[in-house]
Structure 1
Amino acid sequence: MSKLLEGKRVCVTGASAGIGRAVAIGCARHGADVAVNFANDSNGADSAVAEIEALGQRAIAVQGDVAEAESATRLISHTVKALGGVDIFVNNAGICPFHAFLDMPAETFERTMRVNLHGAYFMVQAAANQMVKQGHGGSIIAMSSISALVGGEYQTHYTPTKAGVLSLMQSTAIALGKHGIRCNALLPGTILTDINKDDLADTDKRRYMEGRVPLGRLGQPQDMVGPTVFLASDELSGYVTGAALLVDGGAFVNLQ
């Protein structure tokens, strides 16, 4: 396998499990050293680090709640100290505590906003500042969602954050283009992770969701690796910025 990210330093938020973990290890398979951010799952983060190191790459785990602005500068400073810099930043951390709209607790709404949108803003800002300081550009990739484009009855607090992340990548693409920093968004469909494990425990609902996908299955975290590496690679996507790539098995276009 060609190593498309040879010599690059990658930082991934929310990388102890799910999409973030798959992306972190996938980048290492392509030759990158990786900083793994995690909130609480130290065992998951440590095992991700071990798997990356087994591939012959350097890796560190950095704990931090992305909802806290100061955790962004701490994550980047730890990454720079351990790996020497940041060339690729993947904003992945997010939550989606499903809840009805009419009785949405204020704290649930506010926590979702702080993690998904405020966290993305300050994390991307910290990574961008480091890339500007380094002076040789970089790639910033944010995990938005198909939910940026469609609504969800129990996601009225979540869908606006993912639309905001998509918009953030469009605006930062403009703001950072003069520094050679590319900013793009990935829009996953339904990916089988802890974020929707309880919601999809209902067999009938899972079958219904699978039936809406033209490719006939729900996504796996590994499905996000290739698109991330594509957007991270200067060789493959050096002229791609401000873009949004759906990775949903065709769900969005299946309106009939």
Structure 2
Amino acid sequence: MQLLEGKTVLITGASAGIGRAAAIGAARHGADVAINYLREDAAAASCVAEIEALGRRAIAVKGDVSDPATAADFVARAVDALGRVDVFVNNAGICPFHAFLDMPVETFERTMRVNLHGAYYMVQAAANQMVRQGQGGAIVAVSSISALVGGEFQTHYTPTKAGVHSLMQSAAIALGKHGIRCNSVLPGTILTEINRDDLADPAKRERMAARIPLGRLGEPDDLAGPIVFLASDLARYVTGAALLVDGGAFVNLQ
């Protein structure tokens, strides 16, 4: 069963990690896919090639999500190449780990611009295209378990992920009358480039995994299914919701 047959999906930050897994997962479920990326040309090209190997159309559009012009450009070029926007996945994000008391201003502001401002611009541009099309749509934002809990070296990052979650709640209200659903996924600790250095110590990785009821850290592919579900008509009455995808980490207080 292909849950996204005939749909066009746009995903930010999709040359690697969760975004790439979601892009390929969407293609496996019948979608044509446009990916946004910032630096890795070869990785973006290989993602497009994997999608095309599944018999779907794909394009990669380079751009920095912190620039408002990038959002309009990404949506316009996706529509030009693929015809429309049915699903938008806001995934692009950064987390340069740093202590709170001496947080560099530029580190804080860059994290805000990419993770929160970029999400706002991108979601707004995609939503406007969906409204013009007049057939509804689905928006899924990759927030984080960090929207719900703190992190000593993430004082700049956790507020952005809480903001993305809040954005989806408010956008669900603003866009419901247009038939556009807005939801979040909240990943736990997923092994990606964002935390590769932080989890390079085997002892720390083992300690983190031991806290998770399912007994392992997450992988990018663990997010593909939940994102496809929220984007699909199986979730046609789900909006303003947040789905934890964390192996049970959040509930493991005791």
The Cα of 1:34 is off from its aligned counterpart by 0.1
Q: 1:252 aligns with which of 229, 232, 250?
A: 250
User: For 2:95, what is the secondary structure of its paired residue?
Assistant: coil
Q: Map Cα deviations across residues 108-155 of structure 1 (whole Å, 9 max, x no partner).
A: 000000000000000000000000000000000000000000000000
User: For 2:194, what is the secondary structure of its paired residue?
Assistant: helix
Is 1:202 aligned to 2:205, yes or no? no
Structure 2, unpaired ranges of 5+: none
The Cα of 1:161 is off from its aligned counterpart by 0.1
Matched-pair identity in %: 76
Q: Please list, as runs of the form range in 1=range in 2, the aligned pairs for 1:85-96 lying within 5 A after superposition.
A: 85-96=84-95
Q: Which amino acid aligns with 1:24?
A: A
Q: Which amino acid aligns with 2:173?
A: I
Q: Match of 2:61?
A: 62
The Cα of 1:243 is off from its aligned counterpart by 0.1
| Cα distance in 1 between the residues matched to 2:186 and 2:83 | 30
Q: Please list, as runs of the form range in 1=range in 2, the aligned pairs for 1:88-127 lying within 5 A after superposition.
A: 88-127=87-126
| Cα distance in 2 between the residues matched to 1:143 and 1:20 | 9
| Cα distance in 2 between the residues matched to 1:143 and 1:223 | 13
Q: Which amino acid aligns with 1:237?
A: A
Q: Please list, as runs of the form range in 1=range in 2, the aligned pairs for 1:1-256 lying within 5 A after superposition.
A: 2-234=1-233, 236-256=234-254
| Cα distance in 1 between the residues matched to 2:12 and 2:202 | 31
The Cα of 1:43 is off from its aligned counterpart by 0.6
Q: Which amino acid aligns with 1:251?
A: A
> How many residues matched?
254
| Cα distance in 2 between the residues matched to 1:7 and 1:210 | 38
The Cα of 1:238 is off from its aligned counterpart by 0.2
User: For 1:195, what is the secondary structure of its paired residue?
Assistant: coil
TM-score, normalised relative to structure 2: 1.00
TM-score, normalised relative to structure 1: 0.99
| Cα distance in 2 between the residues matched to 1:133 and 1:174 | 18
User: For 2:253, what is the secondary structure of its paired residue?
Assistant: coil
Q: Which amino acid aligns with 1:105?
A: P
| Cα distance in 1 between the residues matched to 2:78 and 2:192 | 26
Structure 1, unpaired ranges of 5+: none
The Cα of 1:204 is off from its aligned counterpart by 1.1
Q: Map Cα deviations across residues 72-97 of structure 1 (whole Å, 9 max, x no partner).
A: 00000000000001000000000000
| Cα distance in 1 between the residues matched to 2:204 and 2:66 | 31
Q: What CA RMSD, in Å, does the superposition of the two structures yield over aligned residues?
A: 0.3
| Cα distance in 1 between the residues matched to 2:201 and 2:99 | 18
Structure 1 residue runs of 4 or more that deviate by more than 4 Å after TM superposition: none
